[in-house]
Amino acid sequence: MAKQEDQFKKVLSHAKEYGYVFQSSEIYDGLSAVYDYAQNGVELKKNIREYWWKAMVQMHENIVGIDASILMHPTTWKASGHVDAFNDPLIDNKDSKKRYRADVLIEDYCAKIEGKIDKEVKKAEKRFGDTFNKEEFVATNGRVLGYFEKINSILSRMGASLEKEDLADVKALIEELEISDPLTGSKNWTEVKQFNLMFGTKLGASAETAMDLYLRPETAQGIFVNFLNVQKTGRMKIPFGIAQTGKAFRNEIVARQFIFRMREFEQMEMQFFVKPGTQKEWYTAWKETRMKWHLSLGMGAENYRFHDHDKLAHYADAAADIEFKFPFGFKELEGIHSRTDFDLKAHEEFSGKKLQYFDHEENKSYTPYVVETSIGLDRMFLAVFSNALQEEELENGTTRTVLRLPSVLAPFKAAVLPLVKKDGLPEVAREILNDLKWDFNVFYDEKDAVGKRYRRQDANGTPFCITVDHQTLEDKTVTIRHRDTMEQSRVSISDLKTIIDQEVNAKTWLQKI
Ligand code: ATP
């Protein structure tokens, strides 16, 4: 646990020190759970967004994008169910005055039991050595099975109680499990209450005529209300998808995990409209496609897992999360939801407008079913960034900090470094930079010894360093150094573009899918 916390602290300080993420309004002591992306962070974030957009929109003939507004007609949120049901169960600790999400307290309790399972597995692994069969052990060991049973019974009771809105039972469960305030250890809890997460605002000049609006809590509804416009103008045939990326706002109860849970964040969502009855197949297919997208980035298959939901949202007939191993454990990174025809039907009812699709092959109209993939851009940023940050022991006994970002996502693809600040080397370096910058984001640095500059680029995640030295003046070659291996080779200036492109091009990465 302490190791995890240490790693998380390192992530926070590296993100600030290297210009990735700043606390919003820091000079006023910040605003809780609101963050700004800094000069490098904005590049990484943009590259993640583009990598998603390429895979989802550009690579699919039947998926198009839109960019809907943050402000929408308030009836949207009545129809979608957010006004009535976009609630989280909150509980306060009377002694510490800290507020928690009751379901998260219970889930964290279960995560601790999972930690015990991991310990049992590790112990057995040591004991049995090479002959150890993890799957068999987990399926047969009495103690491990007992832990699994306990987790299942807790989560299904919580799911059932939340479903029935039986908040008294959620509190009873917290008390029975003797869950205490993680910060103070106090078990003095208030009742559990529902709390609506939407931010309200007003449209209009005078108080009397102003209209109450909400900042959108998800981008999906902007897609649903545009469904027919896009289908008609794009002449889209089912199955087809509409994708968008954009800001969403939630007045989160607990927001203590950096950019994992923010009050203003960005989503990358795709709604896939299918023929009723085929939604299960598409749901399974999109689960697989999305997992492959994650794996294409090479961040380690062991760091992902699916979590199928027991408790379904009011609109869903199946739902799963792709969870990622963040520095604080496995948590939701992306949701894949089979949303049925709930949203389109609801908008039809509330707007009085028909939102149906005419299927020429079947010669009939119907309301399509929807499978949604929804990923938080900021969470993806945290996944990529925290996974990339490593400290490495070198052969000479020193350590280096290296940010092993997938090179397709790195803010800068290369740094051009004149070996010394004289003899015409900076001029040649700038020439190289000016040529490469048409294709890539490239950094120039001539300050400090070259070894120090290499380390700065390692810590900043730059995949290549290009060093211009005296030999460059003679034969138009440079040294190219790879961030991950630190290997250096001599290459011709005219080959640089191809070498970099092969490594950082989205095609190289996405073709792994
Ligand atoms: P959680 O259970 O963590 O609150 P959720 O199930 O409410 O998340 P969804 O409504 O399914 O999340 O939203 C889709 C995605 O949007 C999530 O998988 C997550 O990546 C991202 N997301 C949701 N809420 C936040 C937030 N407050 N800050 C950052 N990202 C978020």
Can you give the CATH number for the domain in which 305 is found?
Answer: 3.30.930.10
> How confident is residue 5, by pLDDT bands cut at 50, 70 and 90?
confident
> Counting every residue, how long is the chain?
513
> How confident is residue 316, by pLDDT bands cut at 50, 70 and 90?
confident
Q: How far is the CA of 333 from the centre of ligand 1 (A)?
A: 8
Q: What is the mean pLDDT of residues 433-439?
A: 97
Q: Are residues 418 and 463 in the same domain?
A: yes
SS (H, E, C) 129-160: HHHCCHHHHHHHCHHHHHHHHHHHHHHHHHHH
Q: Are 408 and 506 in contact (CB under 8 A)?
A: yes
What's the domain range around 483? Answer: 412-510
Closest atom, ligand 1, to C-alpha of 255: 27
Residue 401 inside a domain? The answer is no
pLDDT in tens, 267-309: 999 999 999 999 999 999 999 999 999 999 999 999 999 999 8
Q: Are 464 and 483 in contact (CB under 8 A)?
A: yes
Rounded Cα–Cα distance for residues 330 and 327 (Å): 8
Q: Are residues 206 and 336 in the same domain?
A: yes
pLDDT of res. 255: 72
Q: Are residues 189 and 202 in the same domain?
A: no
Nearest CA to ligand 1 atom 26: 261
Closest atom, ligand 1, to C-alpha of 267: 16
Residue 368 inside a domain? The answer is yes
Q: How many domains does the chain have?
A: 3
Q: What is the mean pLDDT of residues 402-420?
A: 98
Q: Are residues 468 and 360 in the same domain?
A: no
Q: Are residues 168 and 114 in the same domain?
A: yes
Tokens of 110: 């279960």
Q: Are residues 318 and 341 in the same domain?
A: yes
Q: Are residues 471 and 489 in the same domain?
A: yes
Closest atom, ligand 1, to C-alpha of 380: 20
Q: Enumerate the β-bridge partners of residue 217.
A: none
Residue 399 inside a domain? The answer is no
Q: Are 288 and 260 in contact (CB under 8 A)?
A: no
Q: Is the pLDDT of residue 160 over 80?
A: yes
Question: Which of 267, 287, 372 is the best mutation target for the ligand 1 pocket, counting ligand atoms within 8 Å of the beta carbon and taking the most?
Answer: 267
Nearest CA to ligand 1 atom 9: 335
Q: Are residues 149 and 240 in the same domain?
A: no
**Secondary element (H or E) of residue 63:** strand 63-65
Q: Compute how many other C-beta atoms are within 10 angstroms of the C-beta atom of residue 276.
A: 11
Lowest mean pLDDT among 194-198, 332-336, 388-392, 491-495: 194-198
Q: Are 505 and 410 in contact (CB under 8 A)?
A: no
Q: Is the pLDDT of residue 259 over 70?
A: yes
Q: Is the pLDDT of residue 2 over 70?
A: no
Residue 396 inside a domain? The answer is no
Closest atom, ligand 1, to C-alpha of 261: 28
Which domain CATH number covers 485? 3.40.50.800
Alpha helices in 33-81 (DSSP H): 41-53, 75-79
Higher-pLDDT residue of 348, 209 = 348
Q: Are 53 and 232 in contact (CB under 8 A)?
A: no
Q: How far is the CA of 221 from the centre of ligand 1 (A)?
A: 15
Q: Are residues 36 and 92 in the same domain?
A: no
Q: Are 222 and 169 in contact (CB under 8 A)?
A: no
Q: How far is the CA of 61 from the centre of ligand 1 (A)?
A: 28
Q: Are residues 117 and 205 in the same domain?
A: no
Question: Which of 261, 263, 314 is the best mutation target for the ligand 1 pocket, counting ligand atoms within 8 Å of the beta carbon and taking the most?
Answer: 261
Question: Which of 262, 379, 382 is the best mutation target for the ligand 1 pocket, counting ligand atoms within 8 Å of the beta carbon and taking the most?
Answer: 379
Task: Tell me the chain's radius of gyration from C-alpha atoms.
Answer: 26
Lowest mean pLDDT among 46-50, 100-104, 402-406: 100-104
Q: How far is the CA of 334 from the centre of ligand 1 (A)?
A: 7
Q: Is the pLDDT of residue 370 over 90?
A: yes
Question: Which of 374, 377, 382, 384 is the best mutation target for the ligand 1 pocket, counting ligand atoms within 8 Å of the beta carbon and taking the most?
Answer: 374
Residue 224 inside a domain? The answer is yes
Q: Which residues line ligand 1 (CB under 6 A)?
A: 218, 250, 252, 261-262, 265, 267, 332-335, 374-376, 378-379
DSSP string, 294-358: HHHTTS-GGGEEEEE-SSPPTT-SEEEEEEEEETTEEEEEEEEEEEETHHHHHHHHHH-----EE
Q: Are residues 493 and 381 in the same domain?
A: no
Q: What is the mean pLDDT of the chain?
A: 94
Question: Which of 332, 337, 377, 378 is the best mutation target for the ligand 1 pocket, counting ligand atoms within 8 Å of the beta carbon and taking the most?
Answer: 332
Nearest CA to ligand 1 atom 14: 374
> How confident is residue 311, by pLDDT bands cut at 50, 70 and 90?
confident
Residue 397 inside a domain? The answer is no
Q: Phi first, then psi: what are they for 272, rounded to 5°?
A: -110, 120
Percent of the chain, pLDDT > 70?
100
Rounded Cα–Cα distance for residues 156 and 6 (Å): 33
Tokens of 171: 């509190």
Which of these three, 140, 174, 196, is where a domain ends? 196
Which of these three, 196, 212, 228, is where a domain ends? 196
Nearest CA to ligand 1 atom 2: 332
Geometric angle at alpha carbon 95, from 89 and 97, rounded to 5°: 50
Nearest CA to ligand 1 atom 20: 376
Geometric angle at alpha carbon 336, from 199 and 69, rounded to 5°: 35
Q: Are strands 464-468 and 477-482 parallel, antiparallel or unpaired?
A: antiparallel
Q: Are 452 and 433 in contact (CB under 8 A)?
A: no
Residue 81 inside a domain? The answer is no
Q: Are 316 and 278 in contact (CB under 8 A)?
A: no
pLDDT in tens, 11-33: 999 999 999 999 999 999 999 89
> For residue 368, which of 54, 62, 57, 52 has the smallest C-alpha distance?
62
Cα torsion 184, 185, 191, 192: sign:
positive
Tokens of 108: 């964290």
Rounded Cα–Cα distance for residues 336 and 340 (Å): 12
Cα torsion 236, 240, 245, 249: sign:
positive
Which of these three, 338, 356, 391, is where a domain ends? 391
Rounded Cα–Cα distance for residues 234 and 357 (Å): 13
Residue 407 inside a domain? The answer is no
Nearest CA to ligand 1 atom 6: 335
> For residue 414, which of 393, 439, 389 has the smallest C-alpha distance?
439
Nearest CA to ligand 1 atom 4: 261
Q: How far is the CA of 230 from the centre of ligand 1 (A)?
A: 26
Q: Is the pLDDT of residue 330 over 80?
A: yes
Which domain CATH number covers 171? 3.30.40.230
Q: Are residues 205 and 174 in the same domain?
A: no
Nearest CA to ligand 1 atom 13: 374
